[in-house]
Amino acid sequence: MTQPINRRRFVLKTVGASLALPGLPSLMANSVGGNSAVQATSGAGIGARRFVGIGNLLGFQRKSFFPETTGKGYEKTPLLEPLIENRKNLTVYRGLDHGVKGGHFAVHSFLSGVLNSEAKSRADGNVSLDQFMAEEIGTQTRFPSLTVGSEGGIHGGCQIAWTRSGVRVPPITGPADLFEKLFVDIPQDQKARRKHENHLQASILDSMMDEANFLSRSVNREDKEKLDEYFTSIRDVEKRLEFREKWADYPKPKAPFEKPSDKGTVEDLPMLYELIALALQTDSTRIATLEIGGSFLPHDLGIKKSYHGLSHHGHDEEAVGHLITLEKYQIMHFNKFISRLAGIKDGDRSLLDSTTVLFGSGMGDANTHKNSDLPIVLAGGGYRHGEFVKVDEKVNHKVPLCNLYVDIAQKMGLEIDQFGTSTGTFS
């Protein structure tokens, strides 16, 4: 006879996750109750491949973004003007997207190519490119990846990074928190307490896994699928515990400056870019993402209306003008980030040569809620750059943005030929 189950026994809150045994209908009938001076530590990471993905929640004004002329001789547009000094280090793409619909609620597919609502039918779910690569190479650094962005807002906070099990990766929300994560060691008494917690949590996870394995022999096919998802969540937490244990006794790099005041993501984009550059340079991580959300509104630009409100401009000239100002500001600091990486030595080349930087949005036109024809810029990474590439779907078959992601993952050393909704490698 199947033993009654009390699901309250199998709950664990640890390492930023909450695990609870899922409801299993096939057993419920028997259940009760129903900076450049900073050096990479010990030479680690010199020449290693790195990736940074930067996403904008509301897209860019395409008429002011895309050139008309393709190839190396493309003209300077109002929004690409800040990038001209780095044009030899980047490529602008037009005509790429994921073929999804949903407006603001589909922006989360930017680095995955897959809507969260459709993820359950896919082996890899809607895992984002950064987390997909972190699974393979994340063990080599203190942080498998860093996700930076805003929380709150009408669209539920940072949507750029997703695990294979369909869980949104909560972001680091400001420069002060990111600085502490990178450079501030916890006191020795806290380290000892954390080690004890790690061992206790690992023991609990073992018990949870044993119990779930036992239950798997007594449930139907539908509940086995639920348990498989549960096993995946347990293994995710186990990996995070292993990472935390591995790096517990290694000192963090020395901070190059004092902890910044926490003015928040929306006001201190330059500092966030600087800290991401330092995270790469010190080999604290090799994978990072930054999402610029709908609340982005630097006070020094003198714009009083909300960024999200302006995005629904209805072709009002003043609103479009404010949007171009906001978007140009973002691109200006993206350009400074590229220049910063180009100025940091990484062995016999620059950090930009080692780092593939993707910049764009899952939104093609926020005013009409379209997720097609996405603005995409690829910089660094050792690619041949300097062009505007337009993929004309009237002449060629539709080329998914995920085809480019396959190339990026291969450049990072992953032996794959498919990611998300890709149909091949990018050519």
**pLDDT tens sequence across 274-331:** 999 999 999 999 999 999 988 888 878 888 888 888 888 888 899 999 999 999 999 9
Give the per-residue pLDDT at 187: 65
Q: For residues 231 and 215, is the Cβ–Cβ distance under 8 A?
A: no
Q: For residues 124 and 164, is the Cβ–Cβ distance under 8 A?
A: yes
CATH class of this structure's domain 51-185+263-411: alpha beta
* Cβ contacts of 327-332, under 8 Å, gap ≥ 24: 327/56, 327/60, 327/61, 327/64, 327/65, 327/79, 328/78, 328/79, 328/81, 328/82, 329/269, 329/298, 329/301, 330/56, 330/269, 330/292, 330/296, 331/60, 331/79, 331/80, 331/82, 331/83, 332/82
HSE-up of residue 407 (Cα within 13 Å, Cβ side): 17
Q: For residues 3 and 10, is the Cβ–Cβ distance under 8 A?
A: no
Give the per-residue pLDDT at 152: 72
Contacts of 380 (CB under 8 A, 6+ apart): 89, 90, 338, 341, 342, 352, 353, 354, 355, 356, 357
pLDDT band, very low/low/confident/very high, at 70 (cuts 50, 70, 90): very high
* Phi, psi of 288, deg, nearest 5: -145, 150
**DSSP state for residue 168 in the 8-state scheme:** B
**DSSP state for residue 99 in the 8-state scheme:** -
Domain boundaries, given as residue ranges, for the chain: 51-185+263-411, 186-250
Q: For residues 425 and 410, is the Cβ–Cβ distance under 8 A?
A: yes
Q: Quick check: 14 pLDDT over 50?
A: no
What is the rounded average pLDDT for all residues in the chain?
84
> CA-based diameter of the chain, in Å?
76
* pLDDT more than 70, % of the chain: 75
Give per-residue pLDDT as tens, 129-178. 999 999 999 988 999 999 999 887 666 689 999 999 889 999 999 999 99
Give per-residue pLDDT as tens, 89-122. 999 999 999 999 999 899 999 999 999 999 888 8
Region 328-346 average pLDDT: 97
**Distance of alpha carbon 237 from alpha carbon 215, whole angstroms:** 20
Q: Quick check: 239 pLDDT over 90?
A: no
- Strands 50-56, 355-361: parallel, antiparallel or unpaired by DSSP? parallel
CA 107-372-297 angle, 5° bins: 45
pLDDT band, very low/low/confident/very high, at 201 (cuts 50, 70, 90): low
Q: Quick check: 1 pLDDT over 50?
A: no
3-class secondary-structure state, position 349 = strand
Region 55-78 average pLDDT: 96
Q: Is 68 exposed, middle or buried (0-12, 13-18, 19+ CB in 10 A)?
A: exposed
Token couple for 350: 């620059």
Where is 182: in which H helix or E strand? helix 175-183
Give Cα separations from 152 to 149, 295, 320 (angstroms): 10, 9, 25
Give the per-residue pLDDT at 218: 74
- pTM metric for this prediction: 0.80
Region 70-84 average pLDDT: 97
Give the per-residue pLDDT at 297: 84
